[in-house]
Amino acid sequence: MTKKSIQTIKMGLMAISLFALVACSSTSDTEEGAMGEEGSSGSGSSTASSARTNAGSTSGQLTQEEIRAENALRQTVFYFDFDIAEFKPADRETLTFHARHLAANSGERIRLEGHADERGTREYNLALGERRANSILNYLIVNGASRSQIEVVSYGEEQPAQAGQSDNAYSRNRRVEVVAR
């Protein structure tokens, strides 16, 4: 897979979908607010502040919500804790934006690629990678995406993002990648 081309496509789609997202997010503002509070992670707050600067310097047409959506869609890798198949609560808000984006763009297709670190047997890790991808799949569907838009595949421990036996490598390898199709 060429990551660059995917990103280009994604940016294009993002521009188209932003209008749709505005409509979508305006209806669920309260819910969104609650999400933001409980899922506020370090990375979330920093992207928000950098986005603010951007908003000021550009045309000023993007609302805070739109900028958050744009940033959220840029995050395509979600990391998992050891032995855990459920995505981190801190990723919930970002995933909500992904779900809305899919809901608003019924033609868009994604693939959720689940991965595990190398500890544990290969077959178990293959199953674990699928369960991790499914935890995101289910959340996306509950939040408006259609099942037919999403393909799930697990690579288990076969395609590590980083080689080696360090904790750092392991934490980078326990992941689900959202790949545009």
Binding-site ranges for another protein (CB under 8 A) = 82-83, 118-124, 126-128, 130-131, 152-156, 158-159, 163-165
Residue 163 vs residues 125, 155, 168, 174: alpha-carbon distances, Å: 16, 15, 10, 12
- Shortest distance (Å) from residue 179 CB to another protein: 10
- Shortest distance (Å) from residue 133 CB to another protein: 10
Q: Which two tokens stand for residue 16?
A: 């188209």
- Shortest distance (Å) from residue 114 CB to another protein: 10
Specify the residue, 65 or 151, whose C-beta has the smaller distance to another protein.
Answer: 151
Backbone angles phi, psi at 114, to 5 degrees: -90, 140
Specify the residue, 38 or 83, whose C-beta has the smaller distance to another protein.
Answer: 83
Specify the residue, 14 or 161, whose C-beta has the smaller distance to another protein.
Answer: 161
Task: Report the candidate in 73, 114, 121, 115 with the shortest Cα–Cα distance to residue 93.
Answer: 73
H/E run at residue 37: helix 29-38
Angle at which helices 122-142 and 92-104 pack, to 10 degrees?
60
Q: CB-side exposure of 8: number of CA atoms within 13 Å?
A: 4
Distance CA 126, CA 149 (A): 22
Specify the residue, 99 or 126, whose C-beta has the smaller distance to another protein.
Answer: 126
Residue 20 vs residues 101, 104, 139, 153: alpha-carbon distances, Å: 8, 6, 20, 28
- Shortest distance (Å) from residue 158 CB to another protein: 4
Specify the residue, 17 or 154, whose C-beta has the smaller distance to another protein.
Answer: 154
- Shortest distance (Å) from residue 9 CB to another protein: 17
